[in-house]
Chains A and B, each alone.
Chain A
Amino acid sequence: MSPEVPLNRTAGQASELRRGVVAMIPLWAGVAPFAVAFALLARTAGLSVIETQLLSLTVFAGGAQVALVTLLAAGANGIAIVLTVLALNLRHVLYGLSLSTQFGPDIKLPIPLLAYVLTDEAYGVTIRDGLDGRGGPSFYFGAGLSLYGVFNLTTLAGSLVGQLLPNSERLGLSFIFPLTFLALLMPLLRHWRQCLVAATAAISALLLGRVVAGGLTILLAALIAAGLGVALETLGARKEETA
């Protein structure tokens, strides 16, 4: 791709925003059926169309929404439900930190707004775009809005006409998610240390998934594996010093 020299900052920002919106389009295929499935679940659990939509508009985190609705239907305690949602979403803290490092201090868009559309997917495509020295706040915000729009429109579609659509579970469209993260992961594996970190994270996630409550798995697995990466790096540096 040819480097763009924006005529002025606003034009550059707008085109980066557009690029972010477009970068997310392949992921719509996975998100749309998920939102429909969530809406069906929510309506079956007894939520109204408005309550279902309110979840997608304000929580905007698929996994947490499914958990909330399932627990609510099972008659769980409100505080327990909110704590589960919190645990499921704690990995966002890492994403925010990681994105801030990539964006640097020069962020023109308001941070509270940027934070509102933070998801696994927006984080993923922005980190990938950052490999080409781009992936700035405008690109990220475009990617986030892109997903927000589709997620909410398809939630509404699922609420209203969900029963008429083919069963997405049977189509297996959710398999798009691991494939996406694989495609995002591969360009990052440039050194044996990163491969080892990835393998550790994968194994930790599988093992922790059996013992830890849902959402904490990703957070803990990521911290364990990243910690190993730093430890190996430190050991390597020490060895070079003594050699």
Chain B
Amino acid sequence: MGTIGLILAAALATYGTRIAGFTLAQRQLPGLFGRLLTYIPVAVFAALIAPDLGLGTSEAPARLLGVAAAALAVWRTRQLWAGLAAGMLIFWLARAFG
């Protein structure tokens, strides 16, 4: 398998995962599954955040401060960009002066 072939195989595998959910949803799914899905966004977002907090590394304090600042900004303004700006700013400051 050449590099191009490998890339296309990886693309096919990835596309399979992308289309599968949409396709499965066209069928009648058991009720339990629907209830599970209502919790998926909350669960996925939390699972995506945790490994990026750098726990156990020297950057952990700066990252946690950044996250706290972002949470505060989102809570006060309800704006995504405000959270990103506040979080990055505090993260950079904490890292520079930490």
A: residues with CB less than 8 A from B are 26, 29, 47, 51, 54-55, 58-61, 64, 68, 72, 78, 81-83, 85-86, 89-101, 111-112, 114-116, 118, 120, 123-125, 127-128, 172-189, 194, 197-206, 209, 217-218, 221-223, 225-227, 229-230, 233
Smallest distance from the beta carbon of B67 to chain A beta carbons, Å? 6
Residue of B14, B16, B39, B74 touching A197 (CB-CB under 8 A): B39
| Given A100-B22, A181-B45, A181-B49: A226 in contact with B39 (beta carbons within 8 A) | yes
Which residues of chain A come closer than 8 Å to B91, judged between CB atoms?
A: 172, 175
A64 and B10 contacting across the interface, CB-CB below 8 Å: yes
Which residues of chain A come closer than 8 Å to B20, judged between CB atoms?
A: 92-93, 96
Which residues of chain A come closer than 8 Å to B19, judged between CB atoms?
A: 96, 111-112, 115
- In angstroms, Cα B22 to Cα A51, docked, is 29
- In angstroms, Cα B51 to Cα A175, docked, is 11
Q: A23: nearest residue on chain B (CB-CB)? A: B80
A181 and B48 contacting across the interface, CB-CB below 8 Å: yes
A92 and B42 contacting across the interface, CB-CB below 8 Å: no
A178 and B41 contacting across the interface, CB-CB below 8 Å: no
| Given A175-B52, A201-B46, A209-B51: A92 in contact with B17 (beta carbons within 8 A) | yes
Beyond the given A59-B7, A175-B88, A206-B51, could you list 10 further A-B residue pairs with CB under 8 A, ordered by the A residue number?
A55-B10, A86-B13, A93-B17, A97-B22, A101-B25, A111-B23, A116-B15, A179-B88, A188-B41, A198-B42
Which residues of chain A come closer than 8 Å to B92, judged between CB atoms?
A: 172
Which residues of chain A come closer than 8 Å to B47, judged between CB atoms?
A: 201-202, 204-205, 217-218, 221-222, 225
A-facing residues in B37-85 (Cβ within 8 Å): 37-53, 55, 59, 63, 66-67, 70-71, 74-75, 78, 80-81, 83-84
Residue of A82, A89, A120, A218 touching B9 (CB-CB under 8 A): A82
A182 and B83 contacting across the interface, CB-CB below 8 Å: yes
A-B contact pairs, 29 of them (CB 8 A): A47-B3, A51-B4, A64-B14, A78-B1, A78-B5, A81-B10, A91-B17, A92-B21, A96-B21, A96-B22, A115-B19, A116-B18, A124-B45, A127-B41, A172-B91, A178-B63, A180-B80, A183-B84, A185-B46, A187-B78, A194-B42, A202-B49, A205-B46, A205-B51, A209-B51, A221-B47, A226-B36, A226-B39, A233-B35
- In angstroms, Cα B42 to Cα A94, docked, is 12
